[in-house]
Amino acid sequence: METTIPFIKNNEFDYSWLISFLGDGYKKWAWLIFIPIVILIVTAVSNGANITDGIDGLATGTSAIIGVTLMLLAYVSGNYVFADYLNIMYIPNCSELVIFMSAFVGACVGFLWYNSYPAQVFMGDTGSLALGGIIAVFAIAIRKELLLPLLCGIFLIENLSVMIQVSYFKYTRKKYGEGRRIFKMSPLHHHYQKMNLHESKIVSRFWIVGIMLAVVSIITLKLR
């Protein structure tokens, strides 16, 4: 049960190392650490996509950007020549997953046609949770799950904004008798709405940040 650590040379990491203290034969118990990690990753990314889905086109466009990046990572990981040149983990037949991710990106772009501001259709929790779940499982399948905090930075910051807001509100209510807020409203995209920025401008800027994170994620193939 190996994965890839970004920004590090010879970057393959075996999850079983985390339980090496169990002594000889510890590798057969690697699933004890791998399953909780998978649950954490899928839950976090799905929740992040769900929280991001608050403005027309935001979650859909961000997911499409992430999907294109994962598609490229899957292709190079499944190609022996590229994998050897880039010194990354070679996963046989991994490039076949490019077809699935292409369908995913195509579905996002098609949906975005009608979901862009002003939206004519909405995905709801069922759609947004599915987007995050697909992204998380795909990243795990191509052994790039540790890259998700960077690649899914938009989802991460949206998640953190809610956690920070709620935690600070509860803390100040307990300490001062009244709850105080760091953001005007959470998740983060609603904070910018409260600053009177138009939805389209917020979404466009989040997409730009998402593209920048995607580029940096791709650069990690050589930047180590």
Residue 33 has pLDDT above 70, yes or no: yes
Residue 9 domain-assigned?
Answer: yes
User: What is residue 224's predicted lDDT score, i.e. its pLDDT?
Assistant: 65
Task: Domain of residue 177: give its range.
Answer: 2-219
Residues 95-125 have pLDDT tens digits of: 889 999 999 999 999 999 998 889 899 888 8
Per cent of the chain over pLDDT 70 is: 100
Helix, strand, or coil here: 144? coil
Residue 12 has phi, psi (to 5 degrees) of: -85, 135
Residue 82 has pLDDT above 90, yes or no: no
Residue 224 domain-assigned?
Answer: no
Residue 70 domain-assigned?
Answer: yes
Helix (H) or strand (E) holding 12: strand 12-14
Residue 32 has pLDDT above 70, yes or no: yes
The number of distinct structural domains making up the chain is 1
Q: Which residue did the predictor score with more confidence, 153 or 2?
A: 153
Residue 165 domain-assigned?
Answer: yes
What pTM value is reported for the model?
Answer: 0.91
Alpha-carbon dihedral sign for residues 141, 142, 146, 151: negative
Residues 6-31 have pLDDT tens digits of: 777 777 777 777 777 777 777 777 77
Residues 163-198 have pLDDT tens digits of: 999 999 999 999 898 889 999 998 999 999 999 999
Residue 35 has phi, psi (to 5 degrees) of: -60, -50
Question: 92 with 83: CB under 8 angstroms?
Answer: no
If you average pLDDT over residues 143-150, what whole number do you get?
92
User: What is residue 149's predicted lDDT score, i.e. its pLDDT?
Assistant: 93
